[in-house]
Amino acid sequence: MALLEKIRRQTDTTGARIVFGAVVLVFVFWGVGASGGPTTREVAVVNGDRITETQLQRQMRQVTRGSINLNEDESRQLQMDVLDNLIDTELRMQAAEQLDIEVSEDEVGVFVMSQQGFRTDDGVFSKELYTQILRRQGLSKGAFESSVRQGLTLDKLEALVTASVSVSDAEVELAYQQQETRIEVSYVYVPDAAFLEEVEVQQADIDAHIETHAVEIEANYFNDYNRLYHQDQQAQLHTIMLRTDIPGSSQEDARAKMADILVELEGGASFSDLAERYSEDLSAVNGGNLGVLLKPQMDPTIAEVVFETPSGQVTSVVENGRGVHIFLVGEVTEEQTADLESVQADIAKNMLAKNQVRQWSEAHAEKIRQSWATSENGIDVTLLESHELSVQQAGPFAPRNASLPGANDAVLRGLSAVTAAGMLDEIYAVDGGLLLIHVDSHVAPDPENFETQRDRVKAQLLVERQTDMANRWLADLRSNARITVHMTF
């Protein structure tokens, strides 16, 4: 939903905000538009009811109207989100129909007339203004009011689904305490990877693992192929570039100027000095130094010339859409690949070590915890330095909003149970390692302020519970539905 929210925030015309507020925000949370429309190629079927490509594209146009431009990945992700919402909407509308939930014309009218954007300066609903805004957004009155009706239907459904949700006074007070308490912590993250070298793996176990886990070893190899086992051809480069893609520049002038630069080079001038003086690339301040570039990182036209030029030599003039270039080619490293057979023993050893490493990291983390909890001078630094670990600080924050590496539900529950500063007894398992936490300060809220905050906290907690209930209900509805998606992304 992050991309849909990004689009919503950047929809800034008055008309767009009105329509987006009335229709698309309902779509974001409940979905709109799954029913009706021309019968075109289906993109999904939900319990026998079709969702068509026309519906999907109509919703895409509505959501992206007036928004920022999306790149290919964002557009694909948005299309997936929109289709997912249309499926959820169809499921909800089917449920609403089974429960005989209806919305009258009067209810639609009341909603439309209540929208501030459709009112004149003196607060009177204007049919003319209403029509103008819809026309600017490319919406017919019938389509808009149909979407409103659908949104109101789903609001009634949500109210029915969440009607049983309640919160007790004790829960409200606990939520207040958790929200308003502020803590500061020190923590040490102990990554399992820091102990892999300490795990002893016998050669017989490695050989057996290769025999019995060949498929997994091969999968690991290809997953890490570009990171560990394959290196593309690469070259250390300096460049002098003259831009031709900015107003007032021309290829003819750039070519003539580059010819003069080449004359200076042939006369013994330093490439770096000339780059600082003439180059219009950002690297000019560093003498044109581009560092080491992999072949796939280069423009293909440039790569072809670079790797045909011997190390220590200057390339011929290269032109592309940005400008006119020459390059000083430094050290060139040829493409290198380690085949599966040559590394499978290392992969097998690493797989076995990963399965056993937690006991090493746990043992070391326990030493750190005991040192931290019992020593007046804090942690024995040798326990940190031996594995390049460090103590970090974070906060102040509410315990349930702790921003710590890998902070999961167990970590948040542990922090929420804290009532005073001190070392937490538990060592928390998080992604890729362990987390030790010391609460440096714990400031509880003033009890006298609770009464003034009670209603706000209760309303917030109720919304959270209702949202959770609605999401769990939808998940159950979806798990029991017959859904077929015909579209690939």
Sorting pLDDT into bands at 50, 70 and 90, what band is 64?
confident
Residue 389 confidence class, pLDDT cut points 50, 70, 90: very high
Which band of pLDDT confidence, cut at 50, 70 and 90, is reported for residue 26? Answer: very low
pLDDT band at 68 (very low <50, low <70, confident <90, very high): low
Q: For 219-230, how does the pLDDT look when each residue is reduced to its tens digit (9 = 90+)?
A: 999 999 999 999
Query: What Rg, from alpha-carbon coordinates, does the chain have?
Result: 32
pLDDT digits (tens, 9 = 90+) for 327-370: 999 999 999 999 999 999 999 999 999 989 999 999 999 999 99
* 3-class state of residue 115 by DSSP: coil
Strands (E), 139-200: 182-191
The average pLDDT across 431-449 equals 93
Spatial distance between the Cα atoms of 8 and 17, rounded to a whole number of angstroms: 8
Q: What is the pLDDT of residue 67?
A: 54
Say if CB 383 and CB 218 are below 8 A apart: no
Q: Does residue 18 or residue 458 have the better pLDDT?
A: 458
Q: How confident is the model at residue 236 (pLDDT cuts 50, 70, 90)?
A: very high
Predicted confidence at residue 50, as pLDDT, reads 93
Q: How far apart are CA 149 and CA 155, in angstroms?
A: 10
Distance separating alpha carbons of residues 101 and 215, to the nearest angstrom: 53
Rounded mean pLDDT, 154-169:
94
Look at residue 1 in the predicted model and tell me its pLDDT: 45
Give the pLDDT band of residue 307 (cuts 50, 70, 90).
very high
pTM of the full structure? 0.54
Any residues with CB less than 8 A from the CB of 209 and at least 6 apart, and which?
A: 217, 348, 351, 352
Cα–Cα nearest to 174, from 473, 478, 453? 453
- Give residues with Cβ within 8 angstroms of 86, minimum separation 6: 31, 33, 34, 44, 51, 55, 56, 59
For the cut 60, the answer to whether the pLDDT of residue 39 exceeds it is no
Separation between Cα atoms, residue 355 and residue 220, nearest integer Å: 14
| CB atoms inside a 10 Å sphere around CB 14 | 10
